[in-house]
Chains A and B, each alone.
Chain A
């Protein structure tokens, strides 16, 4: 063991052991540093796409958090992303209020609706809860269209109020998304070390044990839905700002499925590198395949399969390579 490891505090040791080499602090710092300089190396369209990628990564994180801390799957998180996106869009377009006010409101609404959804569904588990979330996803586009006076209906809303006056919108759309992603990842990492986070994990794996030590499983379910809903809304708020437009087409049932796919591809990871993999899959793969015409679904499926297999066999490949290098 290195000196560095022996001098770690217990908390640092836990985080280090949980996250592994690929997601260590150094890797994350290097990654963030690289992303900070990325707009100076890439063109405007790539900067725009990466902004969307960061926003989608937050959505992937929201779904993964529900899986990791609640043991449940959502196929309706676009409800929360729509809530966040329209909070930003409506306040911006109708009232000229910037992200300073609309992002906290989006978070509050996401948490509130997460709690409201969790209460009646608190005793549903597995496929039953997943199907219930599906109802949310299916309802979203219709709800948006029915409130067209506010939401702009099919045409949607164009978000144009700058977050930081004087800085170009292109740069803002990129950096705001990156900062939001980093903040959310740090907050989720802190949750893991908190009393509440530990109680949620115990309630997920051993509800009876959690109950016996004062953590009610209903509290756990409602809490994790509230947190996940809040982060989902932050995803939507970031999407609205980075993508500049908010329309029902961005919050369909398929978008909800893509968020789940991103979560699966990232193996429900909650660290920055892992959620970025999920976000990149959701954002970049469809763009890269856009020239494939009718073959898009086929290639998308193959890419998904490839990612899953790679993730599955990577530990074995790494182990084999390590053994080979030892022998050499």
Chain B
């Protein structure tokens, strides 16, 4: 299948808060089968772009589409139903749910058991919960967290909480997966595990986008990188092209003069 057929596209995306232009007419194409990195200094507009693509923000201008379907105007929940999911910069796990249950929320949208099953001991509800729990446990194992299902998020260190959030995002086998700073708070070993998981996830069907400050991670896993600064792209290309781009070196990675 052509990589661009199932691409997540944004054309001319512009977003302002008051008089401040956060995104200035961005054109993006995140392709299936690739891992795309989105980097830039703090305040560059990375998370705002994420929010526009996932429906949390409505850009004032521009169109967003996935696999040819226009997404503008669709709320985040409707985009999630199309398989477009994300993780959050600040961990957003529910403290009242166990780790397993938090991960189960990643596939809750596929649930069919009705309200009666929620209150009465009907087999449909029990079966559904069992299946969801099994999928959640598998996702946790894939992320190197086999023994934490019964714990509550507050009992885990921040790095593990972030991995749980990633497990919640991947458990539903999304078609577009957008990870906002997935390696923040992870130690070296956890980051290595995450790298392995992300490489395993990359498939011909999945659009995988990673916003990240860990340059080693981005450079090692991404096929293509967008560099954002002050709401504009300053470079787009392979890790090698981005690494050698003088503008990127100047504004983001640091020039030789700084050393």
Contact = CB atoms under 8 A, between A and B. Distances in A.
Interface of A: 10-11, 13-14, 17, 187, 190-191, 193-199, 201-202, 204-206, 208-216
B76 A212 contact: yes
18 contacts: A190-B119, A190-B120, A190-B125, A194-B125, A195-B128, A197-B118, A205-B95, A206-B93, A209-B92, A209-B94, A211-B56, A211-B76, A212-B54, A213-B85, A213-B168, A213-B172, A214-B81, A214-B108
A202 B113 CA distance: 18
B127 to A, nearest CB: 12
A236 B254 CA distance: 69
A195 B88 contact: no
B89 to A, nearest CB: 11
B106 A213 contact: yes
B86 A202 contact: no
B76 A196 contact: no
A222 to B, nearest CB: 12
A113 to B, nearest CB: 17
B153 to A, nearest CB: 10
B117 to A, nearest CB: 7
A130 B120 CA distance: 30
B96 interface: yes
Interface of B: 54-56, 75-77, 80-81, 85-86, 88, 92-98, 100-102, 104-106, 108-109, 111, 113, 115, 117-121, 125, 128-129, 132-133, 149-150, 152, 168, 172
B134 to A, nearest CB: 10
Contacts, number: 107
A208 B77 CA distance: 9
A272 B55 CA distance: 41
A195 B132 contact: yes
Contacts of B172: 213
Contact of B92 (A194, A196, A206, A216): A206
A195 B115 CA distance: 9
A219 to B, nearest CB: 8
Contact of B108 (A193, A198, A206): A198
B164 to A, nearest CB: 12
A142 to B, nearest CB: 33
A214 B111 CA distance: 11
Contacts of A209: 88, 92-94, 105
Contact of B105 (A13, A191, A199): A199
A195 B129 CA distance: 7
Contact of A14 (B76, B80, B98, B106): B98
Contacts of B152: 17
A282 to B, nearest CB: 24
Given A14-B98, A214-B80, A208 B92 contact: yes
Contacts of A194: 113, 117-119, 125, 129
Nearest to B133: A10
A214 B77 contact: yes
Nearest to B171: A213
Contacts of A193: 129
Given A14-B101, A205-B94, A212-B86, A195 B80 contact: no
Given A187-B119, A212-B76, 9 more contacts: A10-B133, A194-B113, A196-B115, A196-B118, A201-B96, A208-B88, A213-B77, A213-B85, A214-B80
Contacts of A187: 119-120
Nearest to B125: A194
Given A205-B94, A213-B168, A198 B117 contact: no
B149 to A, nearest CB: 7
A317 B217 CA distance: 50
A206 B94 contact: yes
